[in-house]
Amino acid sequence: MNDLLKTLYAATENELQRQIARLDTPRTREFHQMLTYHMGWTGAGAGPEAAGKRIRPQLLLLCAASSGGDWQKALPAAAAVELLHNFSLIHDDIEDHSDKRRGRATLWACWGIPQAINAGDGLFVLCDLALDDLAKNYSAQIALTAAKILHQTSLRLTAGQYQDMSYEKRTDLNEADYWPMISGKTAALIAASCEIGAVLAEVGTPTRAAYREFGEALGLAFQVQDDLLGIWGDEAQTGKSAASDLLEGKKSLPVLYGLGQRGKFAARWERGPISPVEVVQVSQFLAEEGASGYTQNKATEWTEKALTSLESAHPYGEAGATLHHLAQRLLGRSN
Amino acid sequence: MNDLLKTLYAATENELQRQIARLDTPRTREFHQMLTYHMGWTGAGAGPEAAGKRIRPQLLLLCAASSGGDWQKALPAAAAVELLHNFSLIHDDIEDHSDKRRGRATLWACWGIPQAINAGDGLFVLCDLALDDLAKNYSAQIALTAAKILHQTSLRLTAGQYQDMSYEKRTDLNEADYWPMISGKTAALIAASCEIGAVLAEVGTPTRAAYREFGEALGLAFQVQDDLLGIWGDEAQTGKSAASDLLEGKKSLPVLYGLGQRGKFAARWERGPISPVEVVQVSQFLAEEGASGYTQNKATEWTEKALTSLESAHPYGEAGATLHHLAQRLLGRSN
């Protein structure tokens, strides 16, 4: 991390703690504790590893600063996108019955499903209250524009999550079902983070659109690469067992592409869950039918699109250089 | 219902349908259907009975109109408070494991818990998007003020729900634990509905405060009366079995008052769930220890406070008369 990224990270953590402290009252002590546990600040295994990278707020602040805005004034918005992201993580973990996240027990695994649903709701509300704070630093019009972008994003998030869950029972899916789900679940919030940064810098419409397109393409490139690694990744690099997405039955791009080929892979997939002993063979079927090449091409396409959009946004100064650097790293072009 | 109430009801339903139609897309058809089912418009048992009375939007519109505002312009805010209320109902039903609401299967009982959590989230997002629509009819400043009131209310709702759930395991409760929980869970949103109505009519600070206090007291009076009926109500009138709140172990005002007396009632309560054969005896302990008289007094106090605050708000015109009439009916002073 360079110095600017370190500064932004520390300022974001500070702002997040300030926003979440709204629930730090004598009668809601444990409610507050659930949220600080989830955010990675307290409880067993607390620390930067548990907190995660805070990519979305960093993108928001860098987009604001690299287009001429003051990142310090944008901090409530940076907190808002991270709070929204974490609201969705808490509810997704319940919905997917995932009992581990970043190596720690998930919130519902610690406090039970009823309290975890309500804790997720609390983060959503705190996201709205953080957005309301923008009116202290910006005109009411700008504060409303930023809020509206995030609310439309939230709608795409819930629609994407609905699709993801409804796909579980379906066997008639193909690639056309992939993009709307993944653009809602992953790309929408990254796009919104970049766009809100630009809105808070009061840039013109073309620059705002360029930042947004950068975020959307970055989110899609990132997700498609993740899908590729989830089947053909190096265990040492990914930290997961090989082809783990196939074992979990995840409807990733290679899988949906493969289902559309109606070949050996699709025939095997439709017979039910794949066991560890078959997984190498099934991933070979998928590669032979063109899924790995196709997915690699899509990852390259979205990566190029992200970098082209970033160029056309003309980010400048130290923040611009840092944004380039962060994008390259997220896109796997550097370490 | 008088003619104005009928008009407001129909306009609210129309606005709610318009707001929820944001999810009426080819890829989110079933998601939309979950919401129209919950709202009482579609599926088994659909109709006005399933939809409920829409008290909160009616109060908001009447407060706006009776203080000089245009209720038609306030419709997005009316939809927002009802969407927020229904978001909380969907999640509360999951958290409380309630499989029936207004005589119909709850959303989670029909579609499962994961989809129901996400459907509740969807209503929360739609509430925010409805609030954003206010900027079409009002200045950005007024739209932000209304939104902020509702967001602060949402925080009180989640804090109240946290308290309600955390009380389940506790036996050391008394009346002091009742008011923060119930003001968050019930009174906050009714107070916000009245206050937002006044804000949209652009009244001065004292009138806005009077409308808010009216709503808060109305909500508390309504809840305390409900608690009274839940133990000593007439089955024919309430439609529930006698003393049903005692059977369910609900932490209502008479119960928390009774626990604070540390007498026969508290001793019996602490030994575990109350069975139907004991219920008459236990409700007699509670009445003998002063809980019914105390609760009745509190209901009267809050009712008087609600009516006094309503007077000092000086609601006028047909809307003012209708607001008086609705308040009297909700407070059990007329039918």
ipTM of the complex as predicted: 0.95
- DSSP labels for A53-78? --HHHHHHHHHHHHTT--TTTTHHHH
Asked if B155 and A180 come within 8 Å (Cβ–Cβ), the reply is no
> How far apart are alpha carbons A203 and A192 in whole angstroms?
15
Asked if A27 and B132 come within 8 Å (Cβ–Cβ), the reply is no
Q: What was the pLDDT predicted at B187?
A: 97
Return the minimum-mean-pLDDT range out of A47-61, A173-187, A241-255, A276-290. A241-255
- Counting residues of chain A whose pLDDT is more than 90, the rounded percentage is 89
Nearest C-alpha in A relative to B141: A140
Taking contacts as CB-CB distances below 8 angstroms, the residues of chain A near B158 are 31, 118, 121-122, 125
Among A85, A215, A64, residue whose Cα is nearest residue A146: A64
Nearest C-alpha in B relative to A145: B132
Per-residue confidence band for A186, with pLDDT thresholds at 50, 70 and 90 = very high
Asked if A27 and B143 come within 8 Å (Cβ–Cβ), the reply is no
Taking contacts as CB-CB distances below 8 angstroms, the residues of chain B near A144 are 132, 135, 140, 143-144
Residue with tokens 């975020």: A215
Q: What was the pLDDT predicted at A240?
A: 67
Asked if A161 and B135 come within 8 Å (Cβ–Cβ), the reply is no
Per-residue confidence band for A10, with pLDDT thresholds at 50, 70 and 90 = very high
Instruction: Provide the 3-class DSSP secondary structure of residue A185.
Output: helix
Choose the closest CB to A22 out of B27, B139, B155.
B155
Q: What is the pLDDT of residues B261-310, one digit of tens each?
A: 999 999 999 899 999 999 999 999 999 999 999 999 999 999 999 999 99
Q: Touching check for B125 and chain A: CB below 8 Å? A: yes
Q: Touching check for A161 and chain B: CB below 8 Å? A: yes
Q: What was the pLDDT predicted at B287?
A: 95
Q: What is the pLDDT of residues B189-206, one digit of tens each?
A: 999 999 999 999 999 999
Instruction: Provide the 3-class DSSP secondary structure of residue A280.
Output: helix
- Are the CB atoms for B180 and B160 separated by under 8 Å? yes
Compute CA distances A321 → A114, A315, A317, B159, B252, whole Å.
45, 8, 6, 43, 60
Asked if B165 and A118 come within 8 Å (Cβ–Cβ), the reply is yes
Q: Touching check for A137 and chain B: CB below 8 Å? A: no
Q: What was the pLDDT predicted at B233?
A: 86
Is the pLDDT reported for residue B132 higher than 90?
A: yes
Q: How far is B241 from chain A (nearest CA, A)?
A: 27
Asked if B129 and A152 come within 8 Å (Cβ–Cβ), the reply is yes
Asked if A162 and B135 come within 8 Å (Cβ–Cβ), the reply is no
Q: What was the pLDDT predicted at B299?
A: 94
Mean pLDDT of A114-127: 98
* Single pTM value for the model: 0.96
Q: What is the pLDDT of residues B168-178, one digit of tens each?
A: 878 788 899 99
Q: What was the pLDDT predicted at B332?
A: 82
Buried b vs exposed e over A117-132: b needs ≥16 C-beta within 10 Å? bbbbbbbbbbbbbbbb
> How far apart are alpha carbons A185 and A96 in whole angstroms?
14
- DSSP labels for A253-270? HHHHHHHHHTSHHHHHHH
Residue with tokens 């994003």: A153
Q: What is the pLDDT of residues B52-81, one digit of tens each?
A: 999 999 999 999 999 999 999 999 999 999
Choose the closest CB to A27 out of B30, B141, B163.
B163
Q: What is the pLDDT of residues A135-170, one digit of tens each?
A: 999 999 999 999 999 999 999 999 999 999 998 878
Q: Which of residues 180-219 of B touch A (CB under 8 A)?
A: 180
Asked if B158 and A129 come within 8 Å (Cβ–Cβ), the reply is no
* Ordered alpha helix ranges (H), chain A: 3-20, 29-38, 48-51, 55-66, 75-95, 107-111, 113-133, 140-167, 175-182, 188-200, 205-232, 235-238, 244-248, 253-261, 264-270, 279-288, 291-313, 317-330
Q: What was the pLDDT predicted at A239?
A: 64
